[in-house]
Each structure stands twice: as C-alpha cells, then as structure tokens.
Amino acid sequence: MIGGIIFVVILSVVVYFYNKAYKRPHNFPPGPPSLPLYGAYWIILAKAYNDLAAACIKLSKEYKSKILGFYLGPFPTVVVNDSKLIKEVLNREEFDGRMDIIIGRLRSYWKKLGIFFTDDYFWYVQRRFSLRYLRDCGFGKRDDSLEFTIAHDVKEMLDMALNGPKYPAENDLVKGNLIYLPHFFAIPFVNGMVHVYTRTSLPRPEYHVLWKVARGALLFQRSSNDFGGALSITPWLKDVMPKYSGFKDLLNGNHVLLDFFKKIVEEAIETHNEAYDRHFLDVYIRKMKEEIKQAERSTYSVEQLILVCTDYMFPAASAVESVLTMLIERLLLQPELQDKIHEEIDRVVGRDRLPTLDDRRNMPFTEACIREQMRYDTLVPLGVAHRALHDTKISSYDVPEDTMVSVNYVALHMDKEIWGDPENFRPERFIENGQLKISKDKSLPFGAGRRLCAGETYARQSMFQVFSAFMQAFRVSTADGKPLKKPAERLQGIITTLPNYWVRVTPRLKI
C-alpha cells in the first residue's frame, strides 16, 4: 500500500516536470526543453559556456530553425539567428520594450530609470530630450570643441607612453615601453563624454578619477552575460551568494559611475543660473524645474539625470576601449596590418601633426580595420534583450506579449552568404577602388531601429581619432617580444572583452 502511494507520487512528479519541460506557448519557435527553476539556461550554457551566441547557433542547427524559442526561468524567450530577420525585428516598434530584471533595477536606485532598461512613454521622452540636446554638444554630430578636447587627451596619452608617467596613477598603466590595455585608452573617451555633458574636462593631474570610472564600468560589464545570468532568473541569489552570482561586482562597478555623476550633477544644480545654459546639465535642470511646476506626471528628476549620464557613459568607459584592445591584439597576430596602417598614415598625415577627422575620408584602410574589428569580435553578441510589447509574430511563429527577444549579431557578422569568408580578418572587404564603401558594411555593431546605440557617431569618430593617433606614434609588439600565435580567449560578459594585458610600444615619433 505504502509502496503504491510512493510510486504514484513519484510518477506524478515525473509527469508534472515532463509536462512543464515541454509546455510552450501556442505556435512558439522550437527550442530546448525547460529544466526546473532555470528553464533552458543550463542547456544553453552546456553548449558553449562562455559564448551564448555560439550556443544559440548550435541549438539553431539542432532544431533546424533559425528562430529559437525556450524559457529562461519564467521568461519565454526568442532568439533570432536569421540574418535576414535581425534588422526587421530591430526596426519593429513592438519589440522596443525592455525586460524588467534585477540588473536594470540595481543600477538605477532600484527603480526603472535611465535609458537602457526603460521603455514606453518614459523611455521615449527621456531619450528624445537627451539626444536632442546632447547632439548640440557633439554627441551625434561633429563638434570642433569636442574634437579638440579628445585631441588634447590623446596627446597626454601619447606623452605618457613616450616620456613616462608624471603622476602616481599613471604608473599602473605605463612601465618602461609597456602599456596596460584596455585602461591606457580610457582617458580620451571618458573625458570626451565629460566634455559632452559639461563643456569642461578633467586635467591630467585628475585622470586617476577617470580611470576609476573606466575600471568601474568594465567591472560591471564583465559581471554578467547576454541574458543577465542566473541572477536575473533567480534574483534572490544576491542575498545568498552576492559575490559568485556577480551581484557584488555589478553593484560596486555601477556605483562608481553613479557616485561620479552624482557629484557633477549636484555641483551643476548648486551653480545653476536661470538666465542662461552653460551645458547639457543646465538644459536638463531647467526642464526638470519646469516639469515639476507644470506637469502632473514628470519623467524628469535628479536621479534620472544621473542615470542618463551614466547610461551614455557606459559604452564610452568600457566598450570602445575594448574594441581597440582587441584590434591591437589583431595587429599582433597579423603584423602586416600595421605596415599598411603606418603607410597610410605617413602618406596622408605625415608625422608632424595628429590625424584629424578631416583625414578619416582619406584613410580607408585604417577606418576599415576598426569596422572589421567590430564585425569580427561582436561586442554585444546577443544585444541588450528586448521585450515584446504585445502579442505579435516573427516570421510564422507567435510571440506572446512580454516575451524576451534577442537577436544574434554573431549569426549576422559570421554569415557566409553576406561576407564570403567571415572567419578571416580582412579589412579590404570594406574597400573598393581605394575608397571606403559604407554600403559594403552590412554589420550592425550598434544595432538598428529606435533602440540603435545613441553613441554610434561619438564612438566611430573618437575611435578613429584615438586609434589613428596611437598608430601614428607607435608600432606594437608582444610584451615578451615573441610572435603571438593565437588570440586570447574572450571574456563574455554583457560585452565581449579581452583579459587585461601589457603590450610593448616602439615609438615612431615624438610628441
């Protein structure tokens, strides 16, 4: 009797979990079953633990469908691995939503603030307003003042490597003829964003503050993965295992940026003059005061201003340096690329002045190397997850409201039908008749649609300024002088990065 009851209970449990494993929304895309608690998350990790985009490509082949459907914990999830559908999905407004997960909350005072992780009316108003006025400050179009600021910081960066450190913090980044990547590249990008917000920048004696921001941003970016990690599925891990779940590093890295901008915003508020606007912060503060007086429902606040600054700073403080760091590694793997870059710089610019944005159109190979790097090592392989705002379809499959939707940029960037030989690093693919052909660049390193990365113009311009000036000044080799045989294993967090490393620089000019 007792044995029969136990058998029935066990059978019931097995049937329950079996049904739960294969229960799916109607006409949902095919994909792996759900395991208890975490859904298909562990199955995906088992396919490629440190490369979720590659795991999704493998599963796509197994299930013979370029659109995958599965559960991540309680979240129905769709991953689009079809190059032809990716741009379509990104441009459809019903996929402009964001998931309300712990990573978004912990970085914004446990509220829904900022630009990255907000949606609907709040996101639309804040993104539209901030971009409207940030463009006036060089974030989205060329600005002579911003270009001068970045050029000044580039000169200081080069001087540090050519003539040695002047201040204590610089000793962590320069030792003899060795420089430490990615942080060596951080100053022009981070200080450039400070200039965008405030029309001022920090002088070299205060660069240590900017390096702290860059380290905090990189710590945050490395502390999770494309899907938000186990922490997003089971947020209670923050209390049980704050370190191993990534929560502690996420929180600490983010607070560096929040504290940095809190101080800047508070100073701007204290010195605000109603008579005129000095910079973007003044424009926002004036609008915030007007809204508080007139509007019943305002999206403007001091905390939101801090998060706006933080959100736009994150890519500048971590992503673009990571792109250049991986590109430097590529030059070590393929030294002939350096020769071509140096030849182009010497022919177009010479060695008596720094390259400017005016030179960019005449330096197609240098620009093509940056573009090829962003294609070859996709910075955000599955992007920042979207959310379906209502029931809809992708191709012939149903996508219920609130489904998490990700697009696999690696599938696009490694599609043989588009690139021919995507496994090869070949900048020439973007060049035709000696000219850069933008039409040949089918990559989407900054996304597309209304969720397109707002900092694309800033990133492309500043990366060219920094990289071309660096290559004008130096030839790079490995720290030990031996040829580099293979690339380092990528660290797959929220963005793709390399482990920090030292590289040897041999001067080509004096600043």
Beta-bridged to residue 501, according to DSSP, are 181
Among the listed residues 395, 409, 382, 383, the one whose alpha carbon sits nearest the alpha carbon of residue 30: 395
Is residue 452 a contact partner of residue 446, using CB atoms and an 8 Å limit? yes
Among the listed residues 87, 85, 88, the one whose alpha carbon sits nearest the alpha carbon of residue 447: 87
Q: HSE (CB half, 13 Å, CA atoms) of 377?
A: 24
Measure the CA–CA gap between 262 and 453, rounded to whole angstroms: 24
User: Which H helix or E strand runs over 239?
Assistant: helix 237-240
Locate the DSSP E strands across 213-334.
none
Is residue 505 a contact partner of residue 236, using CB atoms and an 8 Å limit? no
Is residue 293 a contact partner of residue 181, using CB atoms and an 8 Å limit? no
Measure the CA–CA gap between 197 and 317, rounded to whole angstroms: 14
Q: What is the dihedral of CA 112, 114, 119, 121, to 10 degrees?
A: 100
Q: Which parts of 70-113 fold into alpha helices (H)?
A: 83-90, 102-106
56 is in an annotated binding site: no
CA 500 to mean position of chain CA atoms:
17
Helix or strand or coil: residue 65? coil
Is residue 138 a contact partner of residue 148, using CB atoms and an 8 Å limit? no
Per the annotation, binding residues are 453
Per the annotation, binding residues for heme are 453
